[in-house]
Amino acid sequence: MKITILYGTETGNAEMLAEDIQSELEGGHDVDCLNLSDMAPSDFDASRLFLLVCSTYGDGELPASAQPFAEAMAAEQPDLSALHFAIFGLGDSEYDETFNHGPKKLAELMQAHGAHQIGERVAHDASGADMAEDLAFPWAEEVIALAGAALGEAA
C-alpha cells in the first residue's frame, strides 16, 4: 500500500514516533514520512493512505509544526472527499481538560473537508505506562488492514 505518514510536533516526540512507524512499515509498504509544516493541502493524493501523528500543545492546541497546515486548509478549502486518513495522538493526561485535543482538532479539520477517517483515533498519554510505539504499531497495522478495502487493494 502507498502510505504517507504526516506528523505535527512541537518538541520532536511525534516526529520520532512517525519515523519509527515508517521503519516498522516500510518492509511491506511504500512509505513516505513528512512534517505537516512541509505539506500543502494540494499535495494530498487519494491513492495513498495518510497516517497522521500529532501532539497537543498550549491549551489543547495544535503543535507549532501543524499550524501552517491548518491555516493553509482554511485558506484553500480543499475537497478531500476521496481521501482516507487515520490518526494517532500524543498528549498528557496531566492536562486533563485538553487531553489529546490537538489530534482531535486535526481529525475534525480533515473531516470538515470531506476526508474519511479509518478506525478510531488512538491517544497516547505521556503520564501513562505505555510506550507510544507499543500503541502506535498495532494501530498502524489495524488501520492499514481496514484501509485495504477502502483504497481498493490488498493490505
Q: Does 51 bind ligand FMN (CB under 6 A)?
A: no
| C-beta closer to ligand FMN: residue 78 or 137 | 137
**Nearest residue (CB) to ligand FMN, 6 versus 63:** 63
Q: Does 69 bind ligand FMN (CB under 6 A)?
A: no
Measured between alpha carbons, how far is 52 from 43 in angstroms, rounded to an integer?
Answer: 15
When binding is defined by CB under 6 A, the residue of 13, 35, 37, 67 that contacts ligand FMN is 13
Residue nearest to ligand FMN (CB): 91
Could you tell me the three cell numbers for 148? 485495504
Q: Is 103 in the site for ligand FMN (CB under 6 A)?
A: no
Q: Measure the CA angle with vertex 86, ends 101 and 67; round to 5°.
A: 45
Residue selected from 46, 109, 126, 146 as contacting ligand FMN according to rule CB under 6 A: 126
Among 92, 133, 141, 142, binds ligand FMN (CB under 6 A): 92
- Is residue 37 near ligand FMN by the rule CB under 6 A? no
- Residue 135 touching ligand FMN (CB under 6 A): no
Q: Is residue 18 a contact residue for ligand FMN (CB under 6 A)?
A: no
Residues that bind ligand FMN (CB under 6 A): 9-14, 55-60, 63, 90-92, 95, 98-101, 126
